């Protein structure tokens, strides 16, 4: 009796669930959900062509040096680069003296050997880029409770990589006059909720705490012989630099990959030629089966002779 009641209760629950599921499916197709404001006004970044793209890509050291300059003069006040050591800058074309002088512009935490108290000292080439804040609490206090992300791996951790970084840096718009691809103005829900937020259609939820870091041409002064430092050029240079910080050994990986491919092609060709050479004189032997088998053939001959007798 208990089992029967349990089956009845289970069937009732299953029926209610099926009815609820059917009603939900019906409502979904009859009245599909409206797209959110973020989906309607979010933009995908356009591809940023860099010299490091593709299997044969190589870094443009002049561009990387310009990107380092932008990071130092514009970005380092808020963003850390804690996975990059100063000695790694040799890969950008700097010599030991230049790296040492550049590192000395930064201070890193240390301990006073005389008193044992915390202290600061000038950075050495063996040190890593220091964080601009002592800890996360200090970072939040200085940025309206938002923590600026570390930029070491930003092009690896964000979909779109360098293209996303470039689009974000150049994509700030006035929310009051902005219209999407359909010509629709930004509704109130998409407007920045406070003065500490800034509208950018390339950001996931359209509003971010970081104001436009590159806001005018010539904000950074390049050395003679370099391109004009427009906002677009500076955004391209810092994006290329952040590709390097995320993968400083990219050129080595490309060279290794090409060498492996060449080796595999040569090894495959040699293997095929060896196969042809070893089996060129071999003749295929087919084992006789069925009527052609000698034993079966002898039995057939004896049976035929016996039938004639």
Give the per-residue pLDDT at 303: 82
Asked if 196 and 187 touch (Cβ cutoff 8 Å), the reply is no
N-terminal to C-terminal alpha carbon distance within the chain? 84
pLDDT in tens, the chain (309 residues): 667 777 777 777 777 777 777 666 555 566 565 568 888 899 999 999 999 999 999 999 999 999 999 999 999 999 999 999 999 999 999 999 999 999 999 999 888 888 888 889 999 999 999 999 999 999 999 999 999 999 999 999 999 999 999 999 999 999 999 998 889 999 988 899 888 999 999 999 999 999 999 999 999 999 999 999 999 999 999 999 999 999 999 999 999 999 999 999 999 999 999 988 887 776 666 566 666 677 778 888 888 888 887
Please report which residue ranges of the chain form alpha helices under DSSP H: 2-30, 37-41, 61-70, 96-103, 136-142, 154-157, 162-170, 231-246, 250-278, 294-308
Give the per-residue pLDDT at 305: 82
Asked if 51 and 241 touch (Cβ cutoff 8 Å), the reply is no
Cα separation, 70 vs 221, whole angstroms? 9
Residue 285 tokens read as 């032997």
Residue 291 tokens read as 């009527």
Give the per-residue pLDDT at 135: 92
DSSP state of 85: B
Give the per-residue pLDDT at 32: 60
Question: Reduced to 3 states, what is the DSSP secondary structure of residue 69?
Answer: helix
Phi, psi of 131 (to 5 degrees): -75, 145
DSSP state of 75: I
What structural domains and CATH numbers belong to the chain? 41-84+149-252 (1.10.760.10)
Give the per-residue pLDDT at 284: 62
Give the per-residue pLDDT at 117: 86
Question: Reduced to 3 states, what is the DSSP secondary structure of residue 70?
Answer: helix
Give the per-residue pLDDT at 203: 95
DSSP state of 134: S
Distance of CA 292 to the CA centre of its chain: 66
Residue 129 tokens read as 């880029």
């Amino acid at each position: 009796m208990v089992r029967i009641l349990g089956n009845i209760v289970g069937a009732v629950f299953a029926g209610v669930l099926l009815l609820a599921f059917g009603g939900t499916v019906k409502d979904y197709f009859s009245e599909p959900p409206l797209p959110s404001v973020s989906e309607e006004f979010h933009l995908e970044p356009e591809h940023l062509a860099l010299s490091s793209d593709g299997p044969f890509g190589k870094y443009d050291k002049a561009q990387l040096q310009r990107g380092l300059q932008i990071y130092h003069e514009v970005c380092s006040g808020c963003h850390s680069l804690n996975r990059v050591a100063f000695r790694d800058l040799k890969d950008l074309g700097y010599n030991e003296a230049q790296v040492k002088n550049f590192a000395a512009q930064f201070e890193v935490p240390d301990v006073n050997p005389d008193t044992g108290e915390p202290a600061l000292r000038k950075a050495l080439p063996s040190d890593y880029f220091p964080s601009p804040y002592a800890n996360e609490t200090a970072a939040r206090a200085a940025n309206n409770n938002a923590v600026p992300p570390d930029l070491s791996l930003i092009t690896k951790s964000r979909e779109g990589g360098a293209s996303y970084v470039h689009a974000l840096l150049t994509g700030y718009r006035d929310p009051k006059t902005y219209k999407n691809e359909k010509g629709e103005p930004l509704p109130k829900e998409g407007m920045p909720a406070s003065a500490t937020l800034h509208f950018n259609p390339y950001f996931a939820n359209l509003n971010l705490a970081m104001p436009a870091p590159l806001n005018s041409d010539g904000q950074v002064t390049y050395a003679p012989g370099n391109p004009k430092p427009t906002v677009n050029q500076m955004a391209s240079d810092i994006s290329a630099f952040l590709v390097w910080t995320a993968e400083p050994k990219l050129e080595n990986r490309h060279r290794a990959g090409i060498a492996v491919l060449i080796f595999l092609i040569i090894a495959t060709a040699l293997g095929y030629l060896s196969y042809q050479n070893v089996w060129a004189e071999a003749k295929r032997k087919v084992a006789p089966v069925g009527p052609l088998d000698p034993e079966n053939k002898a039995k057939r001959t004896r049976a035929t002779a016996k039938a004639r007798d």
